[in-house]
């Protein structure tokens, strides 16, 4: 990014603030991400961007997603990595079809095109997996207790579908890395921390985190999680028939048939896996 362009963006913020009385969150956070070296400032700026998907207007989301894609295409690797987490969030959480389509296309490009480094591709895969596992979200507070407001189960299913759809076009190395993600998701256990907001409400999360107690809602979450695991299993069975799957990744997928025996699953789900193995 040129110094001249950066100065123009700073002047835009100053003009908007002093003369129009506005401070565009997306643009302001974008400037922080491109100029600050403070990790805390960077995290807060990224989270403010992510918050727009829940609280901002469609216009705010479109502008912020554009800033993030621009940053993710920077020649500076640090800027790329700073942008990819909020961009993943925008891809699967935004309720605007235009935003989702643009960001989804960009994520596919990062994972598939040779112009992007292997490190950047792996970082992108990592952030998608963090989203799927419910470890990505926005920090919220309820009666003085902080908790992570993560993604809904349907949004995580969209991320799983994305990873399955893009899988045949990935490099052999990324295919193997994706199998690791699939395996970890299949063995993941329901907790109050990874429970989606439509099941574990804010007051429930805040209380459970502060008291370090398990809650009945986690059992409800387990039922949903097991259905998600079954959906993933059926999707994995379908991609084994597709072209572009490397020999090693195919073997790794088939190895899941034996691995799931030792995963923390209900007897019903384990039986369904054994009755319909990947093949």
Per-residue pLDDT of the chain (279 residues; tens, 9 = 90+): 445 544 555 555 444 444 333 445 667 787 777 787 888 888 888 889 899 998 888 988 998 898 899 889 888 888 888 899 999 999 999 989 999 999 999 999 999 998 899 999 999 999 999 999 999 999 998 888 889 999 999 999 999 999 999 999 999 999 999 999 999 999 999 999 999 999 998 888 887 765 555 678 899 999 999 999 999 999 999 998 888 888 999 999 999 999 999 999 999 999 999 999 999
Last residue within a domain, chosen from 50, 81, 116: 116
* Count of other CB atoms within 10 angstroms of residue 162: 20
Exposed (0-12), middle (13-18) or buried (19+): which is 210, by Cβ within 10 Å?
middle
* Token reading at 33: 């991400």
User: Residue 259 contacts by C-beta under 8 Å, 6 or more apart in sequence?
Assistant: 183
Nearest to 276 by CA among 225, 222, 232: 232
- 110 with 151, same domain? no
Q: How many domains in the chain? A: 2
- Residue 239 CA: distances (Å) to CA of 50, 163, 246, 260: 32, 11, 12, 18
Domain-terminating residue out of 116, 135, 158: 116
Which of 66, 91, 116 is the last residue before a domain boundary? 116
Q: Does one domain contain both 133 and 252?
A: yes
Same domain for 15 and 127? no
Q: Are residues 269 and 137 in the same domain?
A: yes
pTM: 0.87
Residues 86 and 131 in one domain: no
- CA dist 58 and 100 (Å) reads 11
User: Does residue 103 sit in the same domain as residue 200?
Assistant: no
- Is the distance from CB of 164 to CB of 232 less than 8 angstroms? yes
Q: Domain range holding 73? A: 1-116
For residue 98, the cross-strand partners are none
């Amino acid at each position: 990014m040129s110094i001249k362009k950066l100065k123009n963006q700073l002047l835009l913020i100053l003009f908007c603030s002093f003369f129009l009385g506005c401070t565009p969150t997306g643009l302001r956070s974008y400037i922080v991400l491109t100029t600050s070296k403070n990790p805390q400032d960077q995290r807060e700026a990224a989270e403010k961007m992510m918050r727009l998907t829940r609280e901002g207007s469609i216009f705010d989301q479109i502008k912020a997603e554009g800033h993030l894609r621009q940053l993710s295409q920077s020649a500076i690797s640090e800027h790329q990595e700073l942008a990819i987490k909020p961009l993943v969030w925008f891809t699967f959480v935004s309720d605007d079809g235009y935003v989702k389509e643009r960001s989804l296309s960009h994520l596919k490009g990062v994972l598939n095109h040779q112009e992007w480094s292997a490190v950047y591709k792996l970082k992108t895969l990592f952030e998608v997996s963090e989203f799927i596992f419910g470890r990505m979200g926005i920090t919220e507070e309820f009666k003085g207790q902080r908790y992570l407001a993560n993604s809904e189960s349907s949004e995580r299913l969209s991320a799983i579908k994305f990873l399955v759809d893009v899988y045949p076009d990935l490099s052999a190395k990324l295919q193997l890395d994706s199998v690791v993600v699939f395996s970890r998701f299949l063995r993941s256990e329901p907790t109050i921390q990874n429970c989606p907001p439509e099941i574990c409400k804010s007051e429930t999360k805040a209380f459970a985190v502060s008291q370090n107690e398990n809650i009945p809602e986690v059992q409800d979450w387990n039922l949903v999680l097991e259905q998600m695991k079954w959906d993933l299993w059926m999707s994995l069975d379908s991609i084994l028939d597709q072209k572009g799957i490397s020999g090693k990744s195919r073997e790794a997928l088939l190895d899941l048939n034996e691995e799931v025996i030792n995963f923390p699953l209900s007897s019903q789900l384990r039986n369904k896996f054994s009755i319909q193995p990947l093949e």
